Structure formats: C-alpha cells, structure tokens
Amino acid sequence: MTPADRDARLADHFLEVREIIRAEEMWERVPERAREFSPDNLEGLVKFAYFGGFIDMAAVRRLLIVDKKEINRLRAKWYEEVREQGCWLC
C-alpha cells in the first residue's frame, strides 16, 4: 500500500467511525478540535468509540490499519491517557 493509498483509507475510516459515533448519538461529546480528519483525530475518535463500547479491538486494528504489536502499544497508551486525563465520555 502506498502512503497516498494509506492516507485515503484512513480518511475513509475517519468517516466510518464518525458515523458509528453519530449512530450512538454521541457526536456532541466529540470536541470541536477533533471533528476534522487528521491521523491524530482518527485515533481520538477510534479511542472514544472503543472506550464507549461502540467498536471492538478488531475494529480498532482495522480502522487504524495497525498490527497486533502496535495495537498492544496503543491500548496501553490509551489506558494511561484515560487514567490521567479522562475521556470524552466523562
């Protein structure tokens, strides 16, 4: 996959996870700064959807296009962030 292909897929995944969050009627909880596509905002939306129980870890891996090793690192980082900062659900 070329970098351009990967970026296009990530942008599509942003739209997909945005719709999942909207379907759960939780879009109003997403901060304004996170409502436009960027890789960081995609990660934030996916983290929000995961902790909200809207998606499972398999969906997280697919949406972020990461392997098991990377998802384990991300999950540990996310749990630490939530412990320290809370989340958009709070």
Q: Would residue 90 count as lying in a domain? A: no
Range of the domain at 35: 3-85
Q: What is the pLDDT of residues 43-88, one digit of tens each?
A: 999 999 999 999 999 999 999 999 999 999 999 999 999 889 877 6
Question: Using a CB cutoff of 8 Å and minimum separation of 24, what contacts does 39-46 make?
Answer: 39/10, 41/14, 42/10, 42/13, 42/14, 42/17, 43/74, 44/88, 45/14, 45/17, 45/18, 45/21, 46/13, 46/17
Number of folded domains that form the chain = 1
Count helices and strands (H / E) in the chain: 4, 0
Q: Would residue 19 count as lying in a domain? A: yes
Rounded to two decimals, the pTM is: 0.90
What pLDDT, on a 0 to 100 scale, did the predictor assign at position 86? 77
Q: What is the mean pLDDT of residues 24-33?
A: 95
Q: Would residue 65 count as lying in a domain? A: yes
